[in-house]
Amino acid sequence: MLKEPISITALSSISALGETLDEVWKAYTTEDHFLSEVQIGDQTVWASRLPQAVKLAIEQLRQSDIKYKYLDASVLFAIYASRKAVEQAGWGSDSNFGINIGSSRGATSLFEKYHQEFLADGKPSTLSSPTTTLGNISSWVAHDLKSKGPDISHSITCSTALHAVLNGVAWIQSGMTDKFLVGGSEAPLTPFTIAQMQALKVYSKVPSRAGSKDDFPCKAMDLDKTKNTMVLGEAAGMACLEKGEKENAMAFIEGVGYATEPLQHSVSVSADAECFQDSMQMALGKLDPSKIDAIVMHAPGTIKGDISEYNAIQKVFCNKTPFLTTNKWKVGHTFGASGSLSLELAVLMLNHQRPISIPFVTYQALPKTINKVMVNAVGFGGNAVSILLSKR
């Protein structure tokens, strides 16, 4: 548990669900998914794309400044979402805040483009190095927002965004700053990225059944599935963190946990996800596990990934398993941004006092009130993060 609560005073995201909190919540309250069949390179795959209106806004951002013209989509996504978060939090006149925004893949699209040019011409583009370095995201956001605090970029695979939350919490708890903008951004819908997931045999091959309400390409949290059903999506998500209990807080961070386990395989965790057990226990601290009303699971839609996290939850919560949900069946796996979208779902459930269930999952009961929610994320390398939230 933290020495004192940290307030989440703003949330901003762009994803297939929309770009405003109202749009996102409305999308969550339907039983529809927001995945579609799209052309990536020379093949058609399931994916989640940004709405066309957001795509146009991102392109306008690109054209608004000559410096932005050659930036990767992941950087532009972050700038766009960060502007909205800071405006919502009322930080416009304050430049004394830190920034930690990460990405799992980074400037994937640009890297693939520059690599193709190098293979064809034998020489790289002049901007190939500065525009594909990982530090681009936070440094460009800091430039755009004119912030004067520390700016940090990192990649810790799929738990990247929640690791950004950990960093923001640590800086604030240390007393070195009172405010931090944290999150993740990902633009992974490129031929090579899709091919890598297919090589791991985790990408969804669920056939399309046009017009069917039962057509769920990603069966995240379906513990009886016999095939892996991961689907990738593009997104960015940001949260504004502030020290103490603020009147405009949307929710409070009460605890954080993290852990890394020795792996038996380079891309999977143990059958009982020991890293998740440790991270959830750390986030709980001395709190009775029965006080947790819901868990937003990482649940990537793979057989082993989903069941191992579920097993870890059973180990920690024993006979009182909280309400379990995930958003990847609806919006896909957005890699480094996924933790931010999960955090957003948790805060929305707290604020609206409504659990968001999964259509193809059978629930024994739904919580009548939601006071505390845990959010999980894990990535390649067995690095897990758990964040404990409470309502304002």
Do 279 and 358 touch, CB atoms closer than 8 A? no
Do 377 and 279 touch, CB atoms closer than 8 A? no
The whole-number pLDDT of residue 250 equals: 98
Beta pairing, strands 151-152 & 6-14: unpaired
Tokens representing 199 are 């090589």
The whole-number pLDDT of residue 133 equals: 85
| Sheet bearing 43-48, strands edge to edge | 36-40, 43-48, 232-233
Q: What topology does CATH give the domain 254-391?
A: Peroxisomal Thiolase; Chain A, domain 1 (3.40.47)
**pLDDT tens string 327-362:** 999 999 999 999 999 999 999 999 999 999 999 999
pLDDT under 50: residue ranges of the chain = none
What are the counts of helices (DSSP H) followed by strands (DSSP E) for the chain? 11, 13
The whole-number pLDDT of residue 265 equals: 62
pTM for this model (two decimals): 0.96
The whole-number pLDDT of residue 2 equals: 87
- CA pair distance 299, 307, nearest whole angstrom: 8
Tokens representing 87 are 């405006």
The whole-number pLDDT of residue 3 equals: 82
Q: Which of 90, 238, 97 is nearest to 179 (CA)?
A: 97
In this chain, the answer to whether the domains covering 6-243 and 254-391 adopt an identical fold is yes
Phi, psi of 345 (to 5 degrees): -60, -45
CATH number of 6-243: 3.40.47.10
Domain segments of the chain: what residues?
Answer: 6-243, 254-391
Do 390 and 252 touch, CB atoms closer than 8 A? yes
- CA pair distance 161, 392, nearest whole angstrom: 22
The whole-number pLDDT of residue 271 equals: 78
Listed in sequence order, the residues at least 6 apart from 317 whose beta carbon sits closer than 8 Å to its beta carbon are 289, 290, 292
- CA pair distance 215, 31, nearest whole angstrom: 11
Tokens representing 122 are 């034998």
The whole-number pLDDT of residue 4 equals: 87
Give the E-state strand segments of 131-186 in sequence order. Answer: 151-152, 179-186
What burial letters (b/e) apply to 275-300, b meaning 16+ CB within 10 Å?
A: bbbbbbbbbbeeeebeebbbbbbbbb
Own/partner contacts of 355-360, CB < 8 Å, gap of 24 or more, are 355/294, 355/323, 355/325, 356/28, 356/29, 356/325, 356/327, 357/323, 357/325, 358/220, 358/221, 358/325, 358/326, 358/329, 359/31, 359/216, 360/214, 360/216, 360/219, 360/222, 360/329
Polymer length in residues for the chain: 392
User: DSSP secondary-structure letter at 156?
Assistant: B
Q: Which of 175, 225, 173, 183 is nearest to 329 (CA)?
A: 225
